[in-house]
Structure 1
């Protein structure tokens, strides 16, 4: 190897040590699992991957020729990172993550207000109109039913009257439960929307 190639390889290995250390801090902050054995396995895979990456960079620099001073160069890069650059990089990384999270929350709120809430309000309005129409129809039917029963009641046997009365009470209870269930569901949905928008 020429002197220029050796110098380029040396600088590349120092830079590789810095990059590997920065990647490890990024991995610890974003992807490292909590359970111990999972962490051991994933850490091992991470370091194997980084070793392959460093060797690939070495291969591009000098054809993959290993020298003892190259290991020292990588250690120098790692030491330089942890001594000088780690605090700056981790501070930048934390700030960047906070910016991304804030942007995500902002976009989420905008989409919720612009798209989701209008659709939910429209569905609520449609359901309220349908329930209102059904309630009016139900009341009209009950009025007609009451008039008809009043007119033909003398001619209806007692057991038929009792059956019709029980049927009417059952239908009325079902309608009341349906209206209460719909009202309860939409009130809960409205509270969730208010909490999400606040």
Structure 2
């Protein structure tokens, strides 16, 4: 079984490399494997928005998944979760077996999509630009979707985020390790 991590706007970081080692997972990122070393989230967001964008990242993800030849579990973080959500609705080839979307805030703009494989949406307790409770309500009846509400903030799995929560991150990693490692 393959595990694949789909990065957020920071791309590959030392923290994500640690997670990939713990889970024995491959990494898909928007920057072709180049570590960007952004100073902060605003810089990462500006660079991603100006140079990559959601649609291009979805194309990168789709191309990577086309080459899969074994059962795969995908784990997306933030924008990575949002592109995984979009891919999940388009995947009719069964490339993925299951997915986990950690705090994919752009999912709110694609509520009409329905994943074609089991997906778990891990929500933060709060988002600045929309109601997390409303998003959960809007998706409550969505086929193939399980919603988990956490007590942490957007970015709690990323050491580069001001919202990094070591305990919450370790808890999620332990749950994933118990299932797949």
TM-score range, shorter chain: under 0.3
Higher relative contact order, chain-length normalized (CA < 8 Å, sep 6+) = 1
TM-score under structure 2 length normalisation: 0.24
Structure that is richer in strand per residue: 2
Rg larger in structure = 1
Structure that is richer in helix per residue: 1
